[in-house]
Structure 1
Amino acid sequence: MTRLMAVSALAVAGMAGTAGAEVIKVGVICPTSGPYAIYGKQFSEAVEAYQAIHGTEIDGNEIEFIYRDSGGVNPDQARSLAQELIIREGVEYLAGFTFTPNALAVAQIIDQSETPAVIFNAATSIITQESEFFVRPSFTLWQVSAPMAEWAHEQGITEVVTAVTDYGPGIDAETGFKAAFEAAGGTVVDSIRMPLDTTDFAPFMQRVRDEAPDAVFAFLPAGPSTFAFVKAYNENDLRGAGIEFLGTGETDETTLDSLGDAALGLRTSYHYSPAHESPENEEFIGKLMELHPDAVPNFASVQAYDGAHVIYEMIRAAGTDGPAAIEAVKGLEWTSPRGPVSIDPETRHITQNVYIREVAKDDEGNLINREFETIEAVPDLGLVNDY
């Protein structure tokens, strides 16, 4: 018997033995140390807020979330943690997965153990196609990049340089933007791919200046690199050179205040802003801040919050029956703090609004990502597109 077959046999045996169990465990694989530890903090805080609002029990069963540290991009670690959680901890569901390589590393394991895995972040379109047990209530880069390209062209931007981090999501962002921008009649004059560990973006900014486009479209994973990139954009005065900034999550709330007033006017397309006005968002942020006054709500927070909702609905419908849980979530609709959302029954990926945003100040002088235009009900355009 292979190691993976052993995982499958033990996990299925565990499922069979937990009918009517008092505790249903969810294993969350995410960074809790290192430069991306903020994700683990945001995930756990948001899940705690969800449970504080909706309770910790379903049909008398206690729902327990167990966290394991994946560090950064580390597929071997993610695979090992998934095996440990299924075999030793007896989890019935997996969740988390900040980075695409980490999510892809567990595809074969969840297939054989029939363990639903709810993706809180990893944003490459192909992920849900690698296992029928993946569900993604977060976003993909195609989903937010293509709408930005269409909007930018409508504003009269005709030439763009793309600058993305050189890994799966970055390539998806580049591809999605380029496909939509060229379909609209625009031209991508240069495509820059930057190593994941880049800290000095000045050479890339000089390359953009030399091309003299109307705008630069960027994607970098949220964290230190996004702050450094936007800072370099400002320090190299690309705006003064007439080169507009277009992005997705580069003005993330965790670094927005550090960017200061130089961030004012930067435009991004994304699926959530804490400034979104709705009763659901008010309830979410209110509970989050009540529990964790130092929390900074952002896209990762709402994705984990909605991820917890999907897990609750699967458990409510199917208990610990993995295949039945996946079937139950197909076509699921609800009103998220980000707006109306649903799970596409074909792709098992979220359909949601995408908002065009601009960094502005609220009435109290705080920097926010102000939503000013809405593209409704956008699917994962990397899997469903007409470009």
Structure 2
Amino acid sequence: MTILPRTPLLALAAAAFTLIGATGAQAQGQPLKVGLMLPYTGTFAALGTAIENGFRLYVNEQGGKLGGRSIEFVKVDDESDPAKATDNVNKLVKRDNVDVIIGTVHSGVAMAMAKVAKDSNTLLIVPNAGADAVTGPMCAPNIFRSSFSNWQPGYAMGEVVAKRGHKKVVTITWKYAAGDESVRGFKDAFEKAGGQVVKELNLPFPNVEFQALLTEIAATKPDAVYTFFAGGGAVKFVKDYAAAGLKRSIPLYGAGFLTDGTLEAQGADADGLMTTLHYADAMNTPRDNQFRLEYAKAYKLQPDVYAVQGYDAAQMLGVGLAATKGDVSKKAEFAAAVQKARIDSPRGAFTVSKAHNPVQDIYLRQVSGKENKLVGVATKALADPARGCRM
């Protein structure tokens, strides 16, 4: 019987182990590739820039490193176009081999991003898009959100409107996911408190011909109106609502985007309007004051909710990377660390649910001049119900 010498086999095994160890160490020494898939042109360009600014501000505060790794950015303009979303996110994953993706603003684009991230097991942190499905049916161990679900501000306002004694409400929004989900959140809280939504009015996105619907509101004579509009649509709706004489007789309430980034154009027609969101223009806390000061120094601009969400996306990434010593392949350890963390945000500290959506205070704000001023907390530590999440 011939006995083969063992030394070469042991040497081979040792060499293989050394190679694996060296590869892991080498990966830790390399920059972390962060893919920014945000709108850099078009209607939402300013929002994409604010998110990136906030993200970079936090990284710079950490000396340019997260989890011991320097950051290399790769940018793709998503153009807020869902038709281009899959190709764009695949460029980051397959061509650029990014370690993590940060994006985006538009919910339709974010849904495509979430599918690719889920299929490829790439880390994704959503710094704005509120589509409920991202942390609902599309939830996954590698998908996180640093902003809100569309349901959350709606639910908080439902509680506010009920507490203010209104019994019958008309809702009005564009007929698309964000509007539908915001109204659903409002109804969940308002009807639970005994209120009744007597009519749900909507029009196709991005139509802004409101007159016929405003006439219907006037004829219905509800106690109040709840709405979800954003951007140019929000500007026109607020102005048309006031012009129709409704502001004087039927109180108007909305999700925060009705008056965020729109007050300059809305002018006096927005004065006094109440909205709900997870941030206000004057939180006046030491944490927020410091953030606003550093942001203004860095970018010569005042930060908004989008900058906060970008900043907190970087904070969440930093928490996960610290726990895994910069190793993004350890998805379970990354997720466990983020779920255990208390994120020290300018909006106020928040935690992250099992579905990876912020559990956060939603604030009641009132328009005064050019600011959404803090009135108080509408709902404390509000968690999205994460309907359909199986994780």
Give the TM bin, normalised by the shorter chain: 0.7 to 0.9
* Equivalent of residue 166 in structure 2, options 124, 143, 157: 157
The answer for the alignment partner of 1:61 in structure 2 is 69
How far off is 1:233 after superposition? 1.5
In structure 1, the gaps of 5 or more residues are 1-14, 362-366
For the pair 1:316 / 2:322, whether they are aligned, the reply is yes
The answer for the alignment partner of 1:134 in structure 2 is 143
- Measured at CA, do residues 327 and 155 of structure 1 come closer, stay the same or move farther in structure 2, by a change above 3 Å? same
Return the letter of the residue paired with 2:87.
S
How far off is 1:139 after superposition? 0.5
Moved more, 152-161 or 19-28: 19-28
Query: 1:94-114: CA deviations, max 9, x gaps?
Result: 111212221221333222321
For the pair 1:37 / 2:45, whether they are aligned, the reply is yes
For the pair 1:52 / 2:60, whether they are aligned, the reply is yes
The answer for the alignment partner of 1:299 in structure 2 is 305
In the alignment, the residues of structure 2 paired with residue 159 and residue 60 of structure 1 have an alpha-carbon distance, to the nearest angstrom, of 55
How far off is 1:18 after superposition? 6.0
What's the TM-score once normalised by structure 2's chain length? 0.87
* Equivalent of residue 378 in structure 1, options 351, 374, 382: 382
Counting only pairs closer than 5 Å after superposition, residues 356-371 of structure 1 correspond to structure 2 as 356-361=364-369, 367-371=370-374
Counting only pairs closer than 5 Å after superposition, residues 165-204 of structure 1 correspond to structure 2 as 165-204=174-213
How far off is 1:296 after superposition? 4.3
Counting only pairs closer than 5 Å after superposition, residues 142-291 of structure 1 correspond to structure 2 as 142-220=151-229, 222-240=230-248, 242-291=249-298
How far off is 1:317 after superposition? 1.9
Return the letter of the residue paired with 1:22.
Q
The answer for the alignment partner of 1:121 in structure 2 is 128
Aligned residues: 360
Rg comparison, structure with higher value? 2
The answer (yes or no) to whether the contact 1:145–1:176 under 8 Å persists in 2 is: yes
Partner-residue secondary structure (3-state), 1:25: strand
How far off is 1:130 after superposition? 0.8
What's the TM-score once normalised by structure 1's chain length? 0.87
Name the % identity.
Answer: 29
The answer (yes or no) to whether the contact 1:252–1:298 under 8 Å persists in 2 is: no
- Measured at CA, do residues 54 and 233 of structure 1 come closer, stay the same or move farther in structure 2, by a change above 3 Å? farther
In structure 2, the gaps of 5 or more residues are 1-22
Moved more, 74-83 or 182-191: 74-83
In the alignment, the residues of structure 1 paired with residue 37 and residue 228 of structure 2 have an alpha-carbon distance, to the nearest angstrom, of 24
